[in-house]
Amino acid sequence: MLRVEEINVTYGKAVALMDVSLHLERGELVTLLGSNGAGKSTLLKCVSGIKPPIKGRTIFDGEEIQKLPSHKIVQRGIIHVPEGRAVFPDLTVEENLRMGAFCRKDENAVRKDMDFVFALLPRLQERINQSAGTLSGGEAQMLAIGRGLLAEPKLLMLDEPSLGLAPVLRDNIFAVIRQIYQEKDITILLVEQNARWALQVAARGYVLENGRIRLEDTGEKLAANPHVQRAYLGY
Amino acid sequence: MKTRTRLILVAACLAMISALVMPALGSATVKIGILGPFTGSLAFNAGEMKKGMELALDEVNAKGGLFGQQIELIFGDTEAKPDKGLAAVKKLVTRDNVLVVGGGYASSVNIATSEFCHYEGCPNVVAIAISPTITNRGYDFVFRTSPNSPQFLEGINEWLAKVKRPKRVAFFMENSDYGRDGQKIWEAQCEKIGAQVLDRLYFEIGSTDFTAAISKLKDKTPDVVFNIASTTEAALIQKQAKELNFVTQWIGVGGQFTQAYFEMTGPVSEYAMGSSLEPTKAMKDPVTAAFVNAYQAKFPGSRPGIFSSQGYDNLQVILDAVERAGKPTGNLAADRKKIRDSLAATNMKLSQGLIRFDKTGQVDTVFPSPVQVQLDNNCKADTQIIYPAERAAAEYQTPKPWDQRRCK
Amino acid sequence: MESLFLQQTLNGLIIGSIYSLIAIGLTMIFGVMKISNFAHGDYSMVGAYTAVFLMAWVPGWMGWVGSIIAAAAVVGILGIVTERLIFRPLIGRWTDIDIIMVSIGLFILLENLAQLFFGATPQMISDPFKGATVHIGGVSTSVLRVFCFGFSCIAIGALQIFLNRSKLGVAIRATSQNRFAAQLMGVDINLIYTLTFWVGAALAGVAGVLYGTTFAVHPLMGAMPTLKAFVVTILGGMGNIRGAIFGGFILGIAESLGGNYLAMEYQHAIGFFIIILVLLLRPRGLFGAKEGT
């Protein structure tokens, strides 16, 4: 479904990604591990068109998309839920969700998805007319995920969804992600600092270090890899 | 892309700057520096002054110019700001090496620029500025062809004492040397004639909304409001007084009564007063009449106002002094000194009357008359001399309430 | 005494409505693009000259109403042109200070071009109400000013409806709060830039016709609205639209009441005094508590 082929991304003279390749098949949940500054967020930004590569290709459903502007990429169904919740603080919860459906025309389908999101995340319905800036950290993260779902994603890219949340809330988010993956016909690229959980839930995983892909394997095998254990699982 | 954009912008800026700063041409010319706010809020008045100067230049050139050389006027833009004025005069005096600096408009600017000229030993003949400070500091290189504020207001003060005799007055002044100096003179006059000063308000040059101040003035019900303001502000104040239904006798210095003022106010300016040196009001004088006719021939459709006339006289005085000083030797300091001395001996009849300087370099032979804006049968507004009787063309009219006025 | 207070409040409300109308565009542009555009008031100047020219062809009511529409169109296009040619290429490449300098350059350029083409003499836009005035219980004003007030309020209300109810309007607000997240929602950011500049400039252009009819039209007339709009924008919170609306009225009333009861010569300083207070006590502006990241 998505193939990233040997891309390079730079910020000025600093190289953020170097010859990075990865692929996701339809319906897969793939995780991307790496320490801070390894280039995970940059890779997602590159796929979603915010930070185009200077070399290499990204192919989605058989078409090159690396030169498209971000809004064209969103229209194709690649939805990036950014790190740090990035909700619109002065918009209400409902307006935030509607912004998620910005590119969609079919009002009925949007309403159905809205119902799905409210069933999945009932707290959002309770706070529907509240401005997003007043939500707690966990609620804001749910809003960010719900907003991503309203964009009707084929490929959902989640960047650090559990970052900065208390353990209870974190488990709650994990459960929600699992449920979305089971109930929706959806492909997920998950960047997650909690590597143990990520490798459990993901079919495959990549390890990104210093802007290069260091390892690529199934979740199980990665969890058993001594380097991964030392660097990401804390053994 | 980044470098290219930057380069394009830099190039565009350079093009603009080089267009603005025209290089001085060859040296076999008589160079005269002319200061004035050629851009900024007073630019249109400076434009009138410049037109008057162009006429003067034409006339001198038609008579063969000076010493067979071309006369070059180098304009320095003061933007009506003292700091900009100083920068401009420095350039004229030290880089362009002009023989004499003329023009100038706005008291605050000329107080600064004339001081610079004096210390550089370069004669400065100020055209349009009324603050007494300019000529009363004992600077022997500084002259002024326009009356100072006491001279300007002498006629009005006499009229206030003998005819109007107001009991309750207020001040609404431009916050500048122009406004403050005029206020000092009127304050003294009010004390002399026993008028009570109800309030003293000031506004900044460039303001547009005066409703707050006018509402406050209205609440105090003065008979007379002294209002020193330039054209745009004065016109807006008249219009807003009408909006706020305020009737009083407005008295200004008179510099506001320009063509633009009457276009902006129409009949709303009826009854407003000031002093005037307006050349069209003194057509009995043959020199003045000749100026008015020549001006209208050169600029068809233009009204030769006070600033055109002051600009004309200013340059005539300068060129006359340069001629009498003799052909420049090339020793700049000596040439300037000679011109200073011949300026002190000026004695010529021009559009505003006889021009002669007293010991301080102040013209002491030009006297403006009190005028009032009155409407003709077609509701067209114009100023009329109303005092003294021997010069008056019309009778003073007391301002009527707005709803009783003939022209709306 | 009492009627003086009412009169001053009315004076402030009317002038405040024009401040708001100009400041809204400035604050929107700042919110969306993080640009402080010091040439904003010159959009009003160009709008006013549009009216001067059109009314030379079509005088009276028709010309005046046509001028308002024409000013919105002409200045809207000017806004788009300045956004495309000047600001967009610099965003993200140059620092904020550099871009401010560029906007000041644009301000000087527009003023000088105006003086070159239109001359420095102030011009009038003739009042379609022919200077008619209204007097109620000791309070007076002109019909024109009442119209300006009503028109500004309606235009501000219409803009509010657009920003709160329409998809694009909400997208403008969203972009203003988090540009990156808005892009991830599929918002075409360049379209939003253009739209914001268009709306902001067009409003300033229309305000210019009202301002120019009430006062006078000259090449430098843009400086005062720019100044006031910045005061209002800082007062209300940079990028905060509601803040700009209320900020405009607050500034208008503060100036007229402050001028009356404190000191008239410091009338224009009152705005700056308020800014200093806001920056010391509430740097996000009076209405800026919830916005920004």
Question: What is the CATH number for B248?
Answer: 3.40.50.2300
Structural domains in chain A, sorted by start: 1-77+153-163+189-235 (3.40.50.300), 81-150 (no CATH)
Compare all CA atoms of chain C with the CA of A72 and give the residue at the minimum distance: C186
Predicted confidence at residue B330, as pLDDT, reads 87
Residues of B with CB under 8 A from a CB of C: 1-2, 5, 9, 13, 16, 39-41, 43-44, 46-47, 175, 201-204, 206-209, 211-213, 215-216, 219, 231-232, 235-236, 239, 242-245, 260, 263-264, 268, 402, 408
Size of interface B-C (CB pairs under 8 A): 117
Q: CB contact, 8 Å: A79 with chain C?
A: yes
Q: Answer whether B touches A (≥3 Cβ pairs < 8 Å).
A: no
Please list every residue in chain A whose beta carbon sits closer than 8 Å to the beta carbon of residue C171. 99, 102
Q: CB contact, 8 Å: A89 with chain C?
A: yes
The count of C-alpha atoms lying within 13 angstroms of the C-alpha of B202, restricted to the half-sphere facing its C-beta, is: 18
Residues B236 and B194 in one domain: yes
The Cα–Cα gap between B256 and B276 comes to 10
pLDDT at B27 over 50: no
Q: What's the gap in Å between the CA of B197 and the closest CA on chain C?
A: 16
Q: Which of C120, C140, C215 sits opposite B245 (nearest CB)?
A: C140
The Cα–Cα gap between B265 and B94 comes to 43
Residues B261 and B400 in one domain: yes
The Cα–Cα gap between A30 and A188 comes to 6
Predicted confidence at residue A176, as pLDDT, reads 94
The answer to whether position B19 is within a domain reads no
Q: What's the gap in Å between the CA of B164 and the closest CA on chain C?
A: 28
Predicted confidence at residue B43, as pLDDT, reads 87
Q: Do A79 and C184 make contact, defined as CB atoms within 8 angstroms?
A: yes
Task: Compute how many other C-beta atoms are within 10 angstroms of the C-beta atom of residue B365.
Answer: 15
Q: CB contact, 8 Å: C250 with chain A?
A: no
The answer to whether position B8 is within a domain reads no
Cα–Cα separations (whole angstroms), residue C60 to C46, C52, C130: 20, 12, 9
Q: Answer whether C touches B (≥3 Cβ pairs < 8 Å).
A: yes
Compare all CA atoms of chain A with the CA of C178 and give the residue at the minimum distance: A88
> What is the average pLDDT value for chain A, to the nearest integer?
93
pLDDT at B206 over 90: no
**Residues in contact with C276: Cβ distance below 8 Å, sequence separation at least 6, in sequence order:** none
Q: Do B215 and C89 make contact, defined as CB atoms within 8 angstroms?
A: no
The answer to whether position B1 is within a domain reads no
Task: Give pTM, 2 decimals.
Answer: 0.82
Q: CB contact, 8 Å: A215 with chain C?
A: no
Touching subunits for chain C (3+ Cβ pairs under 8 A): A, B
pLDDT at B162 over 60: yes
Residues A40, A208: contact at Cβ < 8 Å? yes
Q: Which of C174, C184, C290 sits opposite A80 (nearest CB)?
A: C184
Residues B254 and B383 in one domain: yes
Mutation target for C interface from A87, A90, A91, A147: give the one with most C CBs within 10 A. Answer: A90
Predicted confidence at residue B183, as pLDDT, reads 94
Split chain C (293 residues) into runs of 10 and give each run's mean pLDDT.
88 95 95 93 97 93 96 97 94 88 93 90 90 91 96 96 94 94 95 96 97 93 92 91 94 93 85 86 74 38
Compare all CA atoms of chain B with the CA of C2 and give the residue at the minimum distance: B219
Residues B196 and B239 in one domain: yes
Compare all CA atoms of chain C with the CA of A74 and give the residue at the minimum distance: C186
- Residue B21 binned pLDDT confidence (cut-offs 50, 70, 90): very low
Q: Do B204 and C268 make contact, defined as CB atoms within 8 angstroms?
A: yes
Domain range enclosing B35: 26-147+287-355
The answer to whether position B363 is within a domain reads no
Predicted confidence at residue B28, as pLDDT, reads 66
Q: What's the gap in Å between the CA of C10 and the closest CA on chain B?
A: 10
Compare all CA atoms of chain C with the CA of B5 and give the residue at the minimum distance: C89
Predicted confidence at residue B4, as pLDDT, reads 52
The count of C-alpha atoms lying within 13 angstroms of the C-alpha of C80, restricted to the half-sphere facing its C-beta, is: 13
Q: Which of C170, C184, C189 sits opposite A48 (nearest CB)?
A: C184
Instruction: Enter the tokens of residue B114.
Output: 């004339």
The answer to whether position B266 is within a domain reads yes
pLDDT at A98 over 50: yes
SS3 B74: strand
Please list every residue in chain C whose beta carbon sits closer than 8 Å to the beta carbon of residue B207. 224, 267-268
Which ipTM value was assigned to this complex? 0.91
Predicted confidence at residue B5, as pLDDT, reads 54
Mean pLDDT of B101-115: 95
Q: What's the gap in Å between the CA of C187 and the closest CA on chain A?
A: 6
Q: What's the gap in Å between the CA of C163 and the closest CA on chain A?
A: 11
Q: What's the gap in Å between the CA of C141 and the closest CA on chain B?
A: 5
Predicted confidence at residue B397, as pLDDT, reads 95
Residues B267 and B385 in one domain: yes
B248-290 pLDDT tens trace? 999 998 888 888 899 899 999 999 999 888 887 777 788 999 9
Mean pLDDT of A105-116: 93
Predicted confidence at residue C289, as pLDDT, reads 53
Mean pLDDT of B86-92: 96
Predicted confidence at residue B41, as pLDDT, reads 77
Cα angle: B143, vertex B146, B152; to 5 degrees: 130
Predicted confidence at residue B8, as pLDDT, reads 54
Predicted confidence at residue C162, as pLDDT, reads 96
Predicted confidence at residue C288, as pLDDT, reads 67
Mean pLDDT of B41-59: 92
Predicted confidence at residue B40, as pLDDT, reads 81
In the numeric block, the tokens 């707690």 are attached to A136
The number of domains in chain B is: 2
The answer to whether position B240 is within a domain reads yes
Q: Which of B43, B208, B402 sits opposite C224 (nearest CB)?
A: B208
The Cα–Cα gap between A102 and A95 comes to 10
B226-244 pLDDT tens trace? 999 999 999 999 999 999 9
DSSP letters of A24-55? E-TT-EEEEE--TTSSHHHHHHHHTTSS--SE
Does B388 sit behind a cis peptide bond, omega within 30 degrees of 0 on the bond before it?
Answer: yes
Q: CB contact, 8 Å: A84 with chain C?
A: no
pLDDT at B376 over 50: yes
The Cα–Cα gap between B127 and B312 comes to 9
pLDDT at B144 over 60: yes
Predicted confidence at residue C264, as pLDDT, reads 82
- Residue B73 binned pLDDT confidence (cut-offs 50, 70, 90): very high
Compare all CA atoms of chain A with the CA of C287 and give the residue at the minimum distance: A90
Predicted confidence at residue B1, as pLDDT, reads 42
Predicted confidence at residue B166, as pLDDT, reads 96
Domain boundaries, chain C: 2-223
**Residues in contact with B108: Cβ distance below 8 Å, sequence separation at least 6, in sequence order:** B82, B131, B176, B177, B178
Residues B179 and B127 in one domain: no
pLDDT at A125 over 60: yes
The percent of residues above 70 in pLDDT, for chain A, comes to 100
Predicted confidence at residue A36, as pLDDT, reads 86
Q: Do C267 and B212 make contact, defined as CB atoms within 8 angstroms?
A: yes
Q: Do C216 and B245 make contact, defined as CB atoms within 8 angstroms?
A: no
Q: Do A88 and C189 make contact, defined as CB atoms within 8 angstroms?
A: no
